[in-house]
Amino acid sequence: MKRFANLKRLGFFTRLLDEAPPADRYRFAAEQIVRAEKAGLDSAWIAQHHFHEREGGLPSPFAFLGYVAAQTSRIRLGTGIVTLPLESAVRVAEDAAVLDLLCNGRFELGVGTGGNPSAFAAFGLDGTQRNEIFARNLDVVRTALVGKPLAGGDTLYPQRPQLDKRIWQATFSVAGGARAGKAGDGLLLSRTQPRSKDAPTATLAEIQNPVIDAYLAALPPGCEPRIMASRSIFVADDHREAMRLADIGLRRALPQFMKGGHLPPGETLEEMIKAFDTHVGAADEVIASLRTDATLDRVTDLVFQVHSVDAPHPYVLRSIELVADKVAPALGWTRTAPAVALAG
């Protein structure tokens, strides 16, 4: 049985969290994106994080994507996300425009409020003002990209008005969904969200469907929805290997998970898999697990990440292949680019 009739595109996502020094993290992530392109995936997305290597390993997304663009030719490259309140809005527009030109129009600009309080303090900003700063900076980015005069009268060079139609907003909230819809932007949904004490057993669909409702209600007439759901998906060749790696990764990630505001999971691996909203196992198990996620019936883009299993690099490469070859086609995704056979 196929579901997810709206699913048009499949992507790979990484926060660059491999258990390795920074240079190896960047090399591994680039190799994973190259493998995703060879597997026929439509897009690859990277996250920006400042300072906290257990949360994310990359403060400079444009530099990294420029490096990846030179190693790829077809796959779309996106930021999921640029932490816009912590950036110079004009510089974001400049870097986005240059990157989009260098990769022949393959760039997707995902933005969000992001960042933890200490990161805001390091940049001399007040974290309680993140939403206001985000709104101002996003207005400046749009103004710059489309070539309108900025404060002082200057205009961006190079201008890239096409990118104004490739902005995505990440949000956890109904209000954020409405904001993204009103702007005609894409909507980025997270792989997991903290549950409230009032609804500790709420499903991810119960949390995210109201966000989608608000997004669609606010979308201007005639504007095509772009709804991307990120999901934690790790596929191995057999169940036992998948569970072994999940047990290692999820227990290692538990302190950071709790720090992010999540309720304590149980002690068993099964309880942790559920708490982390993780789809893990052999291909048939992951297909069955994803079919229980009602949010995915409504998305145009499914982007998968191996976090928080965070298996060693060779297993990530294999998981990318298994998702593309076995899992996603069973859920309605149609490969539009041919997979490339690997040497050897």
Q: What's the whole-number mean pLDDT along residues 252-277? A: 88
Q: Which pLDDT value is given to residue 344?
A: 52
By mean pLDDT, which of 94-98, 214-218, 313-317, 340-344 is the weakest?
340-344
Q: Tell me the HSE value of 283 on the side-chain side, using a 13 A CA sphere.
A: 15
Domain coordinates in residue numbering, the chain: 9-331
Q: Which pLDDT value is given to residue 6?
A: 87
In which band, very low, low, confident or very high, does the pLDDT at 282 lie, cut at 50, 70 and 90? very high
pLDDT tens, position by position, 316-344: 999 999 999 999 999 999 998 888 877 55
Higher pLDDT, 3 or 277: 277
Look up residue 123 and give its two tokens. 């940049």
9-331 topology per CATH: TIM Barrel (3.20.20)
Q: Which pLDDT value is given to residue 259?
A: 79
Q: Which pLDDT value is given to residue 3?
A: 65
Q: Which pLDDT value is given to residue 1?
A: 43
C-alpha dist (Å) from residue 122 to 15, 111, 202: 21, 20, 35
Q: Which pLDDT value is given to residue 117?
A: 82
Find out whether 294 and 236 touch, Cβ atoms under 8 Å. Answer: no
Residue 205, number of CB atoms within 10 A of its CB: 17
- Is residue 264 pLDDT above 90, yes or no? no
In which band, very low, low, confident or very high, does the pLDDT at 156 lie, cut at 50, 70 and 90? very high
Q: What's the whole-number mean pLDDT along residues 275-301? A: 97
Record the pTM. 0.96
C-alpha dist (Å) from residue 31 to 14, 37, 64, 72, 311: 11, 10, 12, 10, 15
Find out whether 144 and 156 touch, Cβ atoms under 8 Å. Answer: yes
- Is residue 277 pLDDT above 50, yes or no? yes
DSSP secondary structure letters along 229-287:
EEEEEEE-SSHHHHHHHHHHHHHHHHHHHHHTTPPP--SSHHHHHHHTTEEEESHHHHH
